[in-house]
Amino acid sequence: MRLPPGQYLTEDFPVLTAGPTLRVPTDTWEFVIVTEAGEKHRWDWQQLMALPSERPTVDLHCVTKWSKLHTRWQGVSLDVLLEGVDTAADYAMVHSYGGYTTNLPYEDLLHGQAWIAYKFDGEDLTPEHGGPARLLVPHLYLWKSAKWVRGITLMDEDEPGFWESAGYHDYGDPWREQRYQGD
């Protein structure tokens, strides 16, 4: 069993949040991708549920140093959502209900690396863990896996999100221990 540098193993699933837990009803939920040209692609909950889903089993690494291995999720791959999106963007800003944001390179959303996840361990994702749906990008520190996700804005230029503008690393690769700016 391999852990990234500086991480310890945990069996439970700590809840980290920068604000109040949001309860977003699925009947008003929507997910919107906006391209760098301003073109909007919109899905409501029923449309998301109708898309082919995957069941990834992944390891989670939180920047506060806990790691949780072999977590089981279900969600729609960003490869599916971005299929019909015409873009040449290099960066993406992920937006959540409640105002949270996080940035990552566009490439990191592709090639089976990212999902809009709505089930954890076979159950509907609870609000505490970001339900009804959260981004899941497990190859980066967990703050990039935005809870209560509501959309992604594609961008030509990189911009820092909520934690990235307050001292945390722009990319956040756990294996290179990119916790803070300058790491």
Q: Does 16 bind another protein (CB under 8 A)?
A: yes
CB of 16 to another protein, least distance (A): 5
Residues 133-161 as b/e (b if ≥16 CB within 10 A, e otherwise) read: bbbbbbebbbbbbbbbbbbbbbbeeeeeb
Identify residues 153-172 at the interface with another protein (CB under 8 A): 163, 165-168
Q: Does 112 bind another protein (CB under 8 A)?
A: no
Identify residues 56-75 at the interface with another protein (CB under 8 A): 63-64
Q: Does 99 bind another protein (CB under 8 A)?
A: yes
CB of 12 to another protein, least distance (A): 13
CB of 63 to another protein, least distance (A): 5
* Secondary structure, 3-state, the chain: CCCCCCCEECCCCCCCCCCCCCCCCCCCCEEEEECCCCCEEEEEHHHHHHCCCECCEEEEECCCCEEEEEEEEEEEEHHHHCCCCCCCCCEEEEEECCCCEEEEEHHHHCCCCCEEEEEECCEECCHHHCCCCEEECCCCCHHHCCCCEEEEEEECCCCCCCCHHHCECCCCCHHHCCCECCC
CB of 73 to another protein, least distance (A): 21
Find the binder of another protein among 143, 145, 152, 174 (CB under 8 A). Answer: 143
Kindly write out the interface string for residues 20-49 of this chain, putting x where it contacts another protein by CB under 8 A and - elsewhere: x-----------------------------
CB of 167 to another protein, least distance (A): 3
- List interacting residues with another protein (CB under 8 A): 14-20, 63-64, 99, 143, 163, 165-168, 179-180
